[in-house]
Amino acid sequence: MNTGSDEPGEVAVASEETGTDEVRSEQDRGLGSRAPEFIKARRLLHVSWQVGVFIIGLAVVVTGIIMLPLPGPGWVVIFGGMAIWATEFVWAQLVLRWTKRKVTEAAQRALDPKVRRRNIILTAIGLVIVAVLVGIYVWKFGIVMPWKIKNQ
């Protein structure tokens, strides 16, 4: 009978492993620099690499911020810049994980039937209020097209 021990007289003890170590290692696995090993091995080269990644990520994030009031996918570009930073910096990786978790939670809440029903009812009430206000304005002032306004 094999007891898992090579020494006579020793007793093998079953270890009590839970899945928490696997989950923890899965979460921590992606943290840290993703630079190639030959870059990580040389301090000056690695710092230069990090500066380059930071500058490129900063340029992408600033472009995204500029796109917020202008036409363009501002938030997508900002998160793209954060993803660039996350290839090198742990703080950016943690921010991206937090953001992904919050977006997933918001999507699950939005798909909840009670929340969807409430949102539809609130939207309908808002549209009715806007329609009543527009109706009152048109009834009181009428519709005057801009090209028919006379100089007064």
The pLDDT, as a whole number, for residue 20 is 47
pTM over 0.85: no
Predicted confidence (pLDDT) at residue 130 exceeds the cutoff of 60? yes
Average pLDDT of the segment spanning 36-61: 84
The chain-wide mean pLDDT, for the chain, equals 78
Instruction: With H, G, I as helix, E, B as strand and everything else as coil, classify residue 66.
Output: helix
CA proximity to 81, closest of 55, 103, 105, 116: 55
CA proximity to 78, closest of 64, 92, 95, 98: 64
Average pLDDT of the segment spanning 108-125: 89
Tokens read off for 12: 């093998």
Predicted confidence (pLDDT) at residue 98 exceeds the cutoff of 60? yes
Tokens read off for 139: 């009834």
